[in-house]
Structure 1
Amino acid sequence: MAGRGSSLIQMERLFVNWSVVSALGPNVGDSAMETNKRLMYGLGGLGLIPFLVCLLAASSGAEWLGVDPVAWFIAYGAVILSFLGGILWGRALACDEPRLVAPLLLLSNLFALLAWLGLLLRWYEASLLVLSAGFVMVLWTELRFAPPSSTQRLRSYLTLRYWLTGSVLGLHLLLLWQYR
């Protein structure tokens, strides 16, 4: 039980450090910012694992709980695409330029609808293509709406997004290749 309590304290400290760095700007708490960068990259990398596991399971022809692993892959992709749309919603709330708020909010909802469409389509190939297009469009949107004087934190995030989007697209293409 002591381990669990100390983990909660560490998580609380991480959250507090992140909150302080976010509120005070990029030059305050560089070590906290570096910790957050490692956490961000770690969580991003861990987020690829369900895609990889589903791809490997699909390659073997196995089913999980009576469901084809490709369906699991698509469902997870839809969740991640919706999550990325939610990040745009958050960016709209923090935006200092009123002319950018409406496009960010609308695009945020568009990506959630694309994710839903990816779930509704009957053909795996179509679902994978719709989700792939959604991932590319989210990255383009994030780059398009990034402020010109981006902070180091935002530049690190965009570097991560390039890496993750490329990885996710590669995994989608591998799965599409299996079903050609």
Structure 2
Amino acid sequence: MPRTDVDNRLSSTGLPRTAPDMESGLGRIMQSLIRETHAEQSNLTDWEFNAVCDRIIELLCMMLLGDMGPQQSHLTETAAAVRQYVREHIGVGDLHLPAVASALGWSPRQLRFALQQTGTTYRQVRQDEALRAARDLLSQPGKTTTIGEVAARCGFTQTWFSQVFKARYGETPRDFQKRRSREFTDRLASGIEEPHPA
């Protein structure tokens, strides 16, 4: 691992060069990774060996800079992917945390951590998306879906559903459904078409 590679990556920071602790934690893992990569060099193509060495240099630079946390943009993308997955599978798939994490290729711990770093929890994401789905179902004109059916489809008991829906939207699911129905009827009477859901 040429020292110039490390120096070049750190030169723009202006930080003093300090030796990382290679005897414990991530340093010990790095040291083991370096030894194992060197031992396996003959079994790797030049491209593979160089790619591994580049990653080792990046990790070493991150250690020197103290920048070991995940990037905020990655965390935001992760949270968005979780929301989208939950939204698409409400009422049609297993939305328990381990199943969602597995479907997205992460461990439950990684998923929990990423959401925590963006200021939310999986439980909150699931509830948010379930309430959005419920609101959309209750807004559909001409449908005779009962409150109990909407609650069950979105993963709520009827009592809990009424409480959280009212806390979020300021009215009970029944009042919301009636109001949307009246609005739809008024639009039809005045000749304004209801926009089709996307």
**TM-score when normalising by structure 1:** 0.27
Q: Which has the bigger relative contact order, CA under 8 A and spacing at least 6?
A: 1
The structure with the largest alpha-carbon Rg is: 2
The structure with the largest helix share of the pair is 1
